[in-house]
A and B are shown apart, each in its own frame.
Chain A
Amino acid sequence: MALDAAAWDALLLSLRVASVAMFLSLPLALWIAWILARKEFRGKGLLSALVHLPLVLPPVVTGYLLLLAFGRNAPLGRLLESLGIGLAFHWTGAVLAAIIMGFPLMVRAMRLAIEAVDPKIEAAAATLGAPRVSVFARVTLPLILPGILAGAVMGFAKAMGEFGATITFVANIPGQTQTLPSAIWTALQVPGGENRALAMAALAGVVALVAVLVSEALARRVAKRISGAR
C-alpha cells in the first residue's frame, strides 16, 4: 500500500488541526449565531457579511491576509510570538486558518437551529417560573444541540479539507504544517507520486464521507426534535 509514514503524519496533523479548530471556534460561533438569530442591532448585516466572507473570498487571499496580519514581521504576529504563540509556519497557524475558513459553516448551521426555536416556547417556560439560565439550559439548549453538533461537524470537515489559505499562511513543511491536502498536492508534484496521492485522496474521502453522514444524521435529528415527533 502506498500509505507511508509521511502520509499518516499528514492525516494525524490534519485531525489535530481540525479538532483543535473545531473546539476553539465552537463557543464563539455559537455566540455569533445567537446574536445573528435573535438580536437586532446596527451593523448586523456587516457582521453577517464578515462572518461569511471567507466562504466567497479566494482561500489564497484569506491566507495572504492572515500572513499580512500574523506573519513574523507583522505587529500582531510579533506580539503573539513574544507570548509564545507562534502562528506563521507553525501548526497553530493552520488551526487559525481552519477556524476562519470553517467559521461561516458552523455559524450557519447553529443559526438555523436557533432560528427554528420559537421564542414563545421560552416565554412559556418563563411564566412557569424558570429563570433565564434555566430556560436556556432546559429548553433552548436541548432543542439546538443537534444543530450545534451538526455545525461542529461541518467545521471539522472544512478544516480537514482546507488547503489554499493554509498553504499560503503556514506553507507546507512535512511534519509541521503539511496537512493531508498539502501532502496530496506535494505527491502530485513528484513524478510517479500518483499512487501515493490516490491513496491519501481515498483516506481524505473516507474522513469527509463519515463527517457528512454524521452531520446529516444530526440535522435530521434537529428537524425531528423541533417538530416534536421523536
Chain B
Amino acid sequence: MLEVALHHRFSGIDLDLEFDAGAGITALFGRSGAGKTTVISAVAGLLRPNEGRVVLDGKVLFDAKRGVWVPPHRRRLGYVFQDARLFPHLDVRKNLNFGARYAPRCSMGAGFDDVVGLLGLEALLARAPATLSGGEKQRVALGRALLSHPRMLLMDEPLASLDGPRKQEILPYLERLRDGDLRLPILYVSHAVDEVARLADRLVLLQDGQLKAQGALFDVMADPAAVPLLGVREAGAVLEADVIAHADDGLSTLAISAGQLELPGVQASVGARVRLRVLAQDVILSRDRPVGLSSVNVLPVRVEAVHPGDGPGAAIALRAGSDRLLARVTARAVQDLGLRDGVDCFAIIKATTVAPGSIGR
C-alpha cells in the first residue's frame, strides 16, 4: 500500500494532494500539466517536494517534517518512463540484466526467463535499443523494471508515445501483468480515458495539481461529478460483462446484471469476462419502453442522481441491476422527461458505442 501526501509549489501550479494506491492498478489521471509526472517523480525520489510524506508498505520513503529522504536507488520502485530510457550502449539482454543486477539477493520476483516470456522479448535479446520500435522499447523498459524486483511499479504514460496499433500491442502485456501471478501493485499515470477504463482498478483524478476524486474505477467512472474532469466526450461508465455467444452476423451477446447486450467486435471467447465502456453521450433515455428502434440494446434503469453541467447538458447517474450507467442529456430533456432521483426509465445503448479496444481481459 502506497500512501502519498504532497505539497509542492513550483512554477506554474501548486501541487497539493493526498491519495493512496493499494493492490492492482491505480490510475493517476489528469490532463497535460495537471502535475501527474511531478507526483510520480516525487514517489520515485527523482524530485524532492517542499512538503509531504510518501510511505510504501509502512516504510517511510520521504517525510519532510522528520527529514526522512530515501534516495531513489534504495526505494525499490520500478519506474517505466514515457520515453523508455534504455541504456543505448547495452543490448536488450544487458539492459534487462541491469535491472536484475541490483535486485536484493533474497527478494522474490520474476526471473529472467519469466519476464522474457511474459513480454515476448526472446527475439529482441541481442538487439541494440536504437534498432527497436517504440512498442518494443517500452516492453524492454517494462521487463527491466520488473527484473529489479520492485515493490511497486510506477508507469508514466508508457503508451503516450505510441501510435494506435503499437498501443494495442502493449495493452495485453499490461493486462497480463495485472491479472497474472506477479500481483505487483502499479501506479499508472495517464491522460487517456480509454487506457484507464481498460486497465485500472482504482482511479485518482487530478486537476491543476489538486486531487478531485479517488476511488474504485467503476465508482469514479459512473460518478456524474467526474464528467467535467474526464471530458464530456470521454466520460462514461465502465461495467463488466460475460460473453455468452457469438453470432454469425458478427454480433456477440453479452450478459450484464440488468439484461443482455448485442455488441460487435468482441474478440474474447465465450465464457470470458470483459470490460465494457459505455460513453455517457451514447446513452439515450426514454420514459416509455421504446419500440421499432434500430438499436436492440435497451435496458431498464432507475435514475439515481441528476447532475447539471455548466452548459446546456446534464449528467444522469443510472442504476441498471447491480451496475451503474452514466448518461448525458440536455437540461431541456431533463425538464421534458421529468428526470429526477428514483424515476424508472429505459436506457438505449447504440451497439456501435463500445469500441473493440475497450473490451479486454
Answer yes or no: are A and B bound together in one complex. yes
Q: Are A143 and B89 in contact (CB under 8 A)?
A: yes
Report if A128-B128 is in contact (Cβ < 8 Å); known contacts: A120-B83, A120-B85, A227-B88. no
Residue numbers in A under 8 Å from B228 (CB-CB): none
Q: Is A220 an interface residue (CB 8 A)?
A: no
Q: Are B83 and A225 in contact (CB under 8 A)?
A: no
Distance in Å: Cβ of B48 to nearest Cβ of chain A: 13
Q: Are B83 and A125 in contact (CB under 8 A)?
A: no
Q: Are B85 and A128 in contact (CB under 8 A)?
A: no
Q: Are A225 and B88 in contact (CB under 8 A)?
A: yes
Q: Are B71 and A121 in contact (CB under 8 A)?
A: no
Q: Are B88 and A121 in contact (CB under 8 A)?
A: yes
Stretch at the interface among B96-104, B235-243, B252-260, B350-358: B96-104
Q: Which residue from chain A places its CB closest to the CB of B75 in the assembled complex?
A: A127
Q: Is B202 an interface residue (CB 8 A)?
A: no
Q: Which residue from chain A places its CB closest to the CB of B85 in the assembled complex?
A: A124
Interface of chain A: mostly helix, strand, loop or mixed: helix
CA distance A228 to B95 in the complex (A): 12
Number of A-B pairs whose CB atoms are under 8 Å? 79
Residue among A127, A131, A135 with the most chain B CB within 10 A?
A127
Q: Are B145 and A128 in contact (CB under 8 A)?
A: yes
Residue numbers in B under 8 Å from A128 (CB-CB): 73, 78, 98-99, 102, 144-145, 148
CA distance A49 to B102 in the complex (A): 41
Partner of B89, one of A118, A132, A225: A225
Residue numbers in B under 8 Å from A125 (CB-CB): 87, 98
Residue numbers in B under 8 Å from A121 (CB-CB): 85, 87-88
Q: Which residue from chain B places its CB closest to the CB of A225 in the assembled complex?
A: B89
Q: Which residue from chain A places its CB closest to the CB of B74 in the assembled complex?
A: A129
Report if A120-B81 is in contact (Cβ < 8 Å); known contacts: A126-B73, A128-B148, A129-B103. yes
Distance in Å: Cβ of B255 to nearest Cβ of chain A: 43
Q: Are A229 and B131 in contact (CB under 8 A)?
A: yes
Residue numbers in A under 8 Å from B71 (CB-CB): 126
Q: Which residue from chain B places its CB closest to the CB of A135 in the assembled complex?
A: B73
- Which A residues from 117 to 166 make CB contacts under 8 A with B? 118, 120-121, 123-132, 134-135, 138-139, 142-143
Q: Are B81 and A229 in contact (CB under 8 A)?
A: no
Distance in Å: Cβ of A199 to nearest Cβ of chain B: 44
Q: Is A35 an interface residue (CB 8 A)?
A: no
CA distance A16 to B73 in the complex (A): 44
Residue numbers in A under 8 Å from B86 (CB-CB): 228
Residue among B75, B99, B131, B144 with the most chain A CB within 10 A?
B99
Q: Which residue from chain B places its CB closest to the CB of A121 in the assembled complex?
A: B85
Residue numbers in A under 8 Å from B343 (CB-CB): none
Q: Which residue from chain A places its CB closest to the CB of B131 in the assembled complex?
A: A229
Chain A 30-53, CB-CB to B under 8 Å as 1, else 0, gives 000000000000000000000000
Residue numbers in B under 8 Å from A225 (CB-CB): 88-89
Distance in Å: Cβ of B104 to nearest Cβ of chain A: 8
CA distance A107 to B88 in the complex (A): 24
Distance in Å: Cβ of B170 to nearest Cβ of chain A: 18
Q: Which residue from chain A places its CB closest to the CB of B81 in the assembled complex?
A: A124
The 4 closest A-B pairs by CB, nearest first: A129-B102, A228-B130, A228-B88, A124-B85
